[in-house]
Amino acid sequence: MTVMRKISDAELCAFLDEELPPARAAEVAAIAQCNGEMQSKLKIWRAQDQWLRATFAPLVHEPVPDLLIQALPTDRAPPFPHRVESLPALANRHDETLMWKMISLTLGVLLFATVLYASGLVHGTAHKQTITIDKKQDQPRSLRGS
Amino acid sequence: MSTAPSLSVLLPSLRRFATALSGVPKGRADELVLRALHSVLREPPAESEAVLCRKLRASLTSLTQIRALPRPTPSAQAHPWEAALLDLPVAHRAALILVSVEGCSYDEAAQTLGISRAVLMGRLTAARHMLTNSLEDARPGAIHAPHLRLVK
């Protein structure tokens, strides 16, 4: 004698959604046919599914607003800061970015060297001026002392 | 993979999912879709249309959960299930809509929501019981199933 497993509500749902293996689905169908309680549940759950589909299914036939169409990424106008790109495009952009980085780095080094050199000149002149001033101040003192 | 053509094909069903899930007017639902697009397109391109669709639906579910959207008041003529659907926790509602409206398989819906198949089945059953009980509350005697109880 074959002992049939008890049918849980979750399994009955899976039967309704055609998610049970064929052999188990056949068993559940046979048991449900003789069980008023299960038939009642299946009936109302089917009605729920029909209501859900009737309420929301027509929405897919509505025109999509421009707001969303414009948000889709295109080759010419990326809508978002982080654009979705194909791998070759990313590789090309990487090469370009590297070139610009190298140019910026060279210019930066040159600018730094220029600033360093210029500041050295200014500092040197100021130092010389200080010495000159000091000498001038010292001179009267030494004259006074003599 | 070309993302734009795939997305344009997915947009109508994404709008439907957002509207059914959030219960907000269509304009607000479109804002949710826009946010989901923004969030998913920041990531590396999806390897297939199915993965892209799953990511967008997952993002819409998270956005609906996080943003705690104001619950719209159904009209007096509305079906009792309309209010009951909005009373469901977002995770349960998402499971029911993915399977019943979007036609996802259990495995697909579970993967979208990041849960196991068993958890999905539990949520689906609970959601269906809650809708059933709401109808019984609104129209006593409408169904002859006194044994049905709220399953959380």
Total number of domains constituting chain B: 2
φ, ψ of residue B143 in degrees (nearest 5): -125, 145
Q: Are residues B108 and B64 in the same domain?
A: no
- Entry field: residues in chain B: 152
Report the complex ipTM: 0.82
Inter-chain contacts counted by CB atoms under 8 A, chains A and B: 114
Q: Which of A41, A64, A69 sits opposite B145 (nearest CB)?
A: A41
Could you say which of B72, B93, B126 is where a domain stops? Answer: B72
Q: Are residues A101 and A138 in the same domain?
A: yes
Specify the CATH number for the domain of residue B136. 1.10.10.10
Q: pLDDT value at position B43?
A: 84
| Domain annotation covers residue A92 | yes
What single DSSP character describes residue A45?
Answer: H
Q: A18: which 2 tokens?
A: 């055609």
pLDDT band at B141 (very low <50, low <70, confident <90, very high): low
Burial zone of A31 (CB within 10 Å; 0-12 exposed, 13-18 middle, 19+ buried): middle
| Percent over 70 (pLDDT), chain A | 62
Q: Are residues B3 and B66 in the same domain?
A: yes
Is there a contact between B32 and B18 (Cβ–Cβ < 8 Å)? yes
In chain B, what residues touch A48 (CB-CB under 8 Å)?
A: 81, 100, 128, 131-132
Residue B126 clears pLDDT 80, i.e. is over it: yes
Q: Are residues B117 and B90 in the same domain?
A: yes
Burial zone of B122 (CB within 10 Å; 0-12 exposed, 13-18 middle, 19+ buried): buried
| Residues spanned by the domain of B101 | 76-152
Q: Are residues B117 and B143 in the same domain?
A: yes
Q: Are residues B17 and B44 in the same domain?
A: yes
All residues at 6 or more sequence positions from B152 whose CB lies less than 8 Å from its CB, including other chains: B126
| Residues spanned by the domain of A137 | 86-146
Q: For B84, name the nearest residue in chain A, comparing CA atoms only.
A: A48
Vertex A36: Cα angle to A35 and A37 (nearest 5): 95
pLDDT digits (tens, 9 = 90+) for B84-115: 998 899 999 999 999 999 999 999 999 999 99
pLDDT digits (tens, 9 = 90+) for A130-146: 444 444 444 444 444 43
Q: Are residues B36 and B80 in the same domain?
A: no
pLDDT band at B134 (very low <50, low <70, confident <90, very high): confident
Q: How far apart are CA B149 and CA B152, in angstroms?
A: 10
Q: pLDDT value at position B65?
A: 87
Q: For residue B22, which of A49, A51, A59 has the smallest C-alpha distance? A: A59
Which is more confident, B80 or A85? B80
Total number of domains constituting chain A: 2
Mean pLDDT of A50-59: 94
